[in-house]
Amino acid sequence: MSNGSPENEKRKKAVFDKMSIRRQNHILKKGYDAWDPFEEPKDPIDMRKDKTRRTSQVLIREFLQSLPLDGYSNDFGRGAFDLCLGIVNKEDRYMGMYAFAVWHANLSKKEGFE
């Protein structure tokens, strides 16, 4: 939010006055005082990284390259990419799938199926 100095208030009003009536009404509806036309943009979603500091694109490429060339179908790759995005974005549904897969792999190993 702007610091409220007279100079910033003048700039804010100038930006507001140059907007279309429709956009002005949108801002007024949400609250002119809370509106900050000089707010820094947020990080884009496609730049999100996981705890290894890799993007989803890097992760999925590394994963698929680690498989044998004939080791996966398009559906397999699509499923891996969906799970990758879900984990990077920390979506509950995908975190549950991941937790179950890890649990099941450990169970299988413990019971001698791997």
Tokens of 100: 């179950």
- Predicted pLDDT at 51: 82
- For helices 56-65 and 74-88, angle between their N-to-C axes, nearest 10 degrees: 140
**CA 73, 74, 76, 81 torsion: positive or negative?**
positive
Whole-angstrom Cα distance, residue 66 to residue 61? 9
pLDDT value for 98 = 95
Extract long-range pairs of 57-60: CB within 8 Å, 24+ residues apart.
59/84, 59/88, 60/84
* 49 three-state secondary structure: strand
Query: Given this model, what pLDDT does residue 68 score?
Result: 86
| Res 109: pLDDT | 93
For residue 48, give the 3-state DSSP assignment: coil
Low-confidence ranges of the chain (pLDDT < 70): 1-4, 42-47
pTM (two decimals): 0.55
pLDDT of residue 45: 55
